[in-house]
Amino acid sequence: MRTTTGVRRALTAVATAAALVVGLSVGAASASAAPALPAKMAALGDSITQASMTCSALLSCPTNSWSTGTAASVASHATRLRQAGAQLTTYNDAVPGAVAAGLPAQATRAAGQGAQYVTIEIGANDACKDSVSQMTSTDAFAASIQTSLATLAASQAKPEIFVASIPNLKRLLDLNKSSVSARLTWALLGLCKSMLASPTSTKAADVERREAVQTRVNEYNLALEAACAATAKCRWDGYAVAGYAFAKSDISTRDYFHPSVSGQASLAAVTWEKTQWRS
C-alpha cells in the first residue's frame, strides 16, 4: 500500500483553505434563519443508509434508515423535517455494497428527482475489501465525491446537502471481536476482511493491517470534509459519526457489523444536530 502522507496533507490544506474562504459566509449563515423546509429529499450512500440488517429483508430496510426512514423508533431526518412542518417526498437512492465510484450515478438520480435536501453516507465499502491492497485510493475516492457534489450543486433544485463521516471501523471490530458468534459470522460472510480477518490476532502484521484500514478511512473522511467545504450549501457532520462511540446495542446481531435499529436511531440523532436546520 502506498503511503499517502502527501495526500493527507493536501486534503487538510484544501479543507483549511476552503474554510478560510467561506468562513465569513458560514458565520453569516449560522446567524441567519435555517433554510426553507424541503419538499423532496434523497438519501445517497450504501447499506448503512438502506438500514441493512435491521429487518427480515436484510439488505434493504429503508423504513429504518437514519436518513429517510419512517420508523418512529428511529426518528430519521425525514421524520424530524415532517415534524417541523415539511410536506416531504423521500427517495432512498442508496445501494447496499456501493463504493464512492457509484456515488455520481446516485447523485444524478437525486438531481433528476428534484431533491431539495440530500444526505450522503459513503466510504465504508471502499475500505472494506478482501485485502488492504484492494482498498480504493484516497485520490480516487476524493474525485468521486467531488464529482457527486458538483452534480448536486449544479442541479436545478440547488439542494441543501448533508455529508456524514464514515464510522470508525476499528471501533466496530473491537465491540464484538470477543464474541464467538460474531467471529463465526464474519468468517462465514467473508465480511470486511481487510479489517475483520483474524479479529483476535495480536501479530504485528494483523495489527498493522487494521491500522492501515482505519488510516485510509480517516483519509476518506478528510476528503469528504474538504469536498463539502468547497461546495455551496453543503454541511459536513463535523466527524459526528466518525467520533460516535457505538455501543453493542447499536450493532445488528445479524452480522455484528451494521447498525441495528437502535444504531440507526443513534446515527439519526447525532447527525441531525449537525444539519442546516439545527446548527
pLDDT at residue 33, as a whole number: 80
- pLDDT band at residue 19 using 50, 70 and 90 as cut-offs: very low
Rounded to an integer, what distance in angstroms lies between the CA atom of residue 47 and that of residue 97?
A: 6
Which parts of the chain are beta strand (E)? 40-45, 89-92, 117-121, 160-163, 234-236
- pLDDT band at residue 32 using 50, 70 and 90 as cut-offs: low
Which of the four CATH numbers 3.40.50.1110, 1.20.1300.10, 3.40.50.2300, 3.40.50.1820 does domain 36-272 have?
A: 3.40.50.1110
List Cβ neighbours of 150 (8 Å cut-off, separation of 6 or more). Answer: 231
Q: For 240-269, what is the mean pLDDT?
A: 97
pLDDT at residue 11, as a whole number: 52
- Cα–Cα distance list, 84 to 63, 80, 81, 268 (Å): 19, 6, 5, 15
List Cβ neighbours of 216 (8 Å cut-off, separation of 6 or more). Answer: 4, 126, 127, 132, 135, 138
pLDDT tens-digit readout, 60-76: 999 999 999 999 999 99
Domain ranges of the chain: 36-272
- pLDDT band at residue 39 using 50, 70 and 90 as cut-offs: very high
Beta-sheet pairing, 160-163 with 234-236: parallel
Q: Which of 129, 195, 194, 125 is nearest to 166 (CA)?
A: 125
Exposure string over 92-128, b if 16+ CB within 10 A, otherwise e? bbbbbebbbbbbbebbbebbebbbbbbbbbbbbbbbb
pLDDT tens-digit readout, 208-252: 999 999 999 999 999 999 999 999 999 999 999 999 999 999 999
- pLDDT band at residue 189 using 50, 70 and 90 as cut-offs: very high
> Computed from CA positions of residues 46, 93, 245, 259, in that sequence, does the dihedral angle turn out positive or negative?
negative
Residue listed under C-alpha cell 447499506:
47
Rounded to an integer, what distance in angstroms lies between the CA atom of residue 88 and that of residue 233?
A: 19
pLDDT at residue 9, as a whole number: 52
Q: For 99-120, what is the mean pLDDT?
A: 98
Q: For 14-30, what is the mean pLDDT?
A: 42
Q: Contact at 8 Å (CB) between 84 and 277?
A: yes
> Computed from CA positions of residues 258, 263, 264, 267, in that sequence, does the dihedral angle turn out positive or negative?
negative
Please state, rounded to an integer, the average pLDDT across all residues of the chain.
91
> pTM score, two decimals?
0.88
Give the number of C-alpha atoms closer than 13 A to the C-alpha of residue 178, restricted to the C-beta side: 4
pLDDT at residue 220, as a whole number: 98
pLDDT tens-digit readout, 111-147: 999 999 999 999 999 999 999 999 999 999 999 999 9
Q: Residue 189 is placed in which grid cell?
A: 460472510
Residue 49: CB atoms within 10 Å: 29
Q: For 172-185, what is the mean pLDDT?
A: 96
